[in-house]
Amino acid sequence: MSTGLDPKQSDLTAGFVPFPPDRAEEYRRAGYWTGRPLDSILSGAAAQWPDRTAVVDPDVSYTFAELDTHADRIAAALTDRGIAAGDRVLLQLPNSVQFAVALFGLLRAGAVPVMCLPGHRYAELSHFADVSGAVALVVPDKVAGFDYRDLAQGLLNDNPRLTHVFVDGDPGPFQSWSQLADFDGPIRNRASFDPGAPALLLVSGGTTGLPKLIARTHDDYVYNATACAQACEMTGDDVYLVALPAGHNFPLGCPGLLGSMTVGATTVFTSDPSPESAFALIDRHKVTVTGLVNALAKVWTQACEWEPVLPTSLRLVQVGGSRMTPEEARYILDGLTPGLSQIFGMAEGMLNFTRLGDPIDVVVNTQGRPMSPHDEMRVVDDAGADVAPGEEGELLVRGPYTLNGYYRADEANARSFSPDGFYRTGDRVRIFAGGPRAGYVEVTGRIKDVIHRGGETVSASDLEEHLLAHPAIYAAAAVALPDEYLGEKICAAVVFSGTTITLAELNQFLDERGVSAHSRPDVLAPMSTLPKTAVGKVDKKKVVAQLAAP
Ligand code: OOB
């Protein structure tokens, strides 16, 4: 059967799971979906606020009009080199103005960027190239001793569809990215565009196995960015700092770069989120909003004790990405900013966050409430039945910006979606049923993040919460290690705050807190730092690998 689309477009949509028509109609009728292409966020901003500063990095700054012109030129050059509408292009640039130029240049050419993170290496990139069928790759030359051109060469050798490599910086044997910007000519073959088709591909944040690809549509992602900026009360006076890798959903669209652009706010990029560097940048550009993962938020808070320049212009600091204990939230609230907002989000869509003005109790003890009135949440038990209000279970979600299936992943989709189209998040949550926290979500752990010790099932996150309550412990990960007798034994990998304690002292403390004997660690493994994923979350797979290394 003919799809009526040109071959490239039908190739793009093969393996893409669109929103079902009835729900799509509902979201259009509610006014969430506006039928605009994702790059209209830039054209709109350039038309309304041409002379405002759009993007800034240590080397360059562009107004919205300038960014718009650069995106057009890149788009024209890309189409001239043979990049066609619907083509997937791996985008792996560091946090910089060029990142924004590349993103919009690709979108404007009708290409579909695959949002890689600078920390991804051959295993991830090769997987993304393979699944997406990407024809091109955009990388920097060399960053912090790592040569992305070597990575590119390896990918070219192994992925026959990949034919173009563009390098920002010294191109070596590849095409120069900066030369594209000098191109003078029209954008070729502009395709008719479908707001329900994928605009870009995000990568999933899971720490088990290789990341999956998530197609976000023009309609859903424009809404994501616009609604998030509104909920965060962003205005043109705000300045947003991209401190996390820019291709991650959080700093990209929640509200991030794209949300900031919807209100004419400036975005500042940094590749160095260390407090010394970031605080100076915040002060220089009077940054008002940023998003951080927990570990980074704690480092910034600690640094407030000694840094000479403090980030006092911040009015909103979103913290999310992994579980935060109430003690950690209070620490950040007291030491870094009264403008803390907890955010529980996912590249798959669904966002929850605490709002400015929410009572302290809500900000400290919950991970927020849904962004959209049309977000639907269910909490279910192991058998898939809805639990009683306020009880714990797995969170299932559906809504105007949540995916309906991973890209080209039939097997994963069969597991990850309910028959009526809810995404099974794998997150264990409770939704408060009454009182001041009613409707707010608490994330209590991951369904599968458990340790099977003897006949008992121990929740890693429950134990981590107890570990973090000890003043000597700064960071903690509870992981399973193989054991001849128990099947799995419990290992507490910890970073000490200064003083150290023994396993016996720790277990004495846990005993006093009422932690049952079978849920206490068998092994205490002090580490200087916990290994992190590309976005900066604790990577338990790597923790286990490090513990196993001789
Ligand atoms: C964000 O997105 P991803 O795709 O890297 O990771 C999503 C997963 C969630 O399913 C959950 O397991 C975990 O990360 N998570 C949290 C959390 N925020 C995310 N777990 C506990 N508490 C939280 N506050 O991480 C992401 C995307 C957009 C905005 C913010 C974070």
Separation in Å, CA 72 to CA 22, 59, 97, 186, 334: 36, 21, 15, 9, 45
Output the CA torsion sign for 139, 141, 145, 147: positive
d(CA 34, CA 27): 9
Q: Which residues lie across from 441 on neighbouring strands?
A: 431
Q: What is the pLDDT of residue 10?
A: 56
Q: What is the pLDDT of residue 305?
A: 97
Asked if CATH classification 3.30.499.10 holds for the domain at 38-192, the reply, yes or no, is no
Parallel, antiparallel or unpaired: strands 239-242 and 88-91: unpaired
Q: Which CATH class is domain 450-548?
A: alpha beta
Q: Is the CB of 250 under 6 A from ligand 1?
A: yes
Q: Which helix (H) or strand (E) holds 241?
A: strand 239-242
d(CA 354, CA 319): 10
Model confidence, pTM: 0.96
Question: Which of 175, 173, 117 is closest to 146 using CA atoms?
Answer: 117
Atom of ligand 1 nearest to the CA of 427: 12
Q: What is the pLDDT of residue 522?
A: 98
Backbone angles phi, psi at 390, to 5 degrees: 90, -10
Place of tokens 């660690």: 521
Q: What is the pLDDT of residue 205?
A: 85
d(CA 417, CA 431): 20
Q: Is the CB of 86 under 6 A from ligand 1?
A: no
Backbone angles phi, psi at 505, to 5 degrees: -65, -40
Fold match flag (38-192 vs 450-548): no
Atom of ligand 1 nearest to the CA of 535: 5
* Domain range list for the chain: 38-192, 450-548
Q: Whose CA is nearest to atom 22 of ligand 1?
A: 323
DSSP 454-507: TTEEEEHHHHHHHHHTSTTEEEEEEEEEEETTTEEEEEEEEEESSS---HHHHH
Q: Is the CB of 425 under 6 A from ligand 1?
A: yes
Angle, in degrees to the nearest 10, between helices 218-231 and 40-48: 50
Cα of 445 vs centre of ligand 1, distance in Å, is 11
AA identity, residue 242: V
Q: Give the pLDDT means over successive 10-residue stretches in the chain (550 positions).
A: 49 96 98 98 98 97 98 96 96 98 97 97 96 98 97 96 97 96 85 91 82 97 98 98 98 98 98 98 98 97 97 98 96 98 98 97 98 98 96 98 97 95 97 97 94 95 96 97 96 97 98 96 97 94 91
Q: What is the pLDDT of residue 549?
A: 85
